[in-house]
Chains A and B, each alone.
Chain A
Amino acid sequence: NAGVTQTPKFRILKIGQSMTLQCTQDMNHNYMYWYRQDPGMGLKLIYYSVGAGITDKGEVPNGYNVSRSTTEDFPLRLELAAPSQTSVYFCASRHRGTDTQYFGPGTRLTVL
């Protein structure tokens, strides 16, 4: 099992550009999450999904969109990148029957 994989590892965007952060898990987990991590702020939940076709907002959803067409994939979309979206983004997943989340290695995004 590869676990939770994220691509790309690093990306620099210009203000107003768009991009999609990819997240894939091969553990057949129902739940998937997107977090952003800013220095001194811990992790903040952006969006989450409890299964294919079902998504919901977390604490900081503005400026982001998600979709969940398959169990394995949970991409995060930035439509109009802003400097405030400079952060490290983590994807995580867990099985319905447990409370332990498994994290990917992260994507470091810089918006200039």
Chain B
Amino acid sequence: AQSVTQPDIHITVSEGASLELRCNYSYGATPYLFWYVQSPGQGLQLLLKYFSGDTLVQGIKGFEAEFKRSQSSFNLRKPSVHWSDAAEYFCAVGALGGNKLVFGAGTILRVKS
């Protein structure tokens, strides 16, 4: 069965520090992977996605993620966090042309000044 694990429920980083949010997936076929961000009271916004090709993908707001098939991981990174990055981040997995995404439980990012 498809599943997504985000091991960290909460993460707190200082403004200007680097960030890595972990995501591990279980999927029978070649996965399509996504990171979404949800600001308080808002819907989900797509940060980036991986379908194929270069395993390091760039997204909006300075985020990037690296697909590692051997580790079944798709970790999200940002070299320098801004206070406006405080939000909840969701990793999701799906199939090409598939109708369903499976979401992780989310990681809440707090940024301290």
Contacts and interface: CB of A to CB of B under 8 A. Distances in A.
Interface of A: 4, 31, 35, 40-45, 48, 50, 56, 58, 90, 92, 99-106
A94 B107 CA distance: 24
Interface in B28-53: 32, 34, 36, 41-46, 49, 51
Interface of B: 4, 9, 32, 34, 36, 41-46, 49, 51, 90, 94, 96-101, 103-106
B105 A41 contact: yes
Contacts of A40: 9, 105-106
B82 to A, nearest CB: 22
Nearest to A48: B99
B99 A99 contact: no
Nearest to A100: B46
B51 to A, nearest CB: 7
A48 B43 contact: no
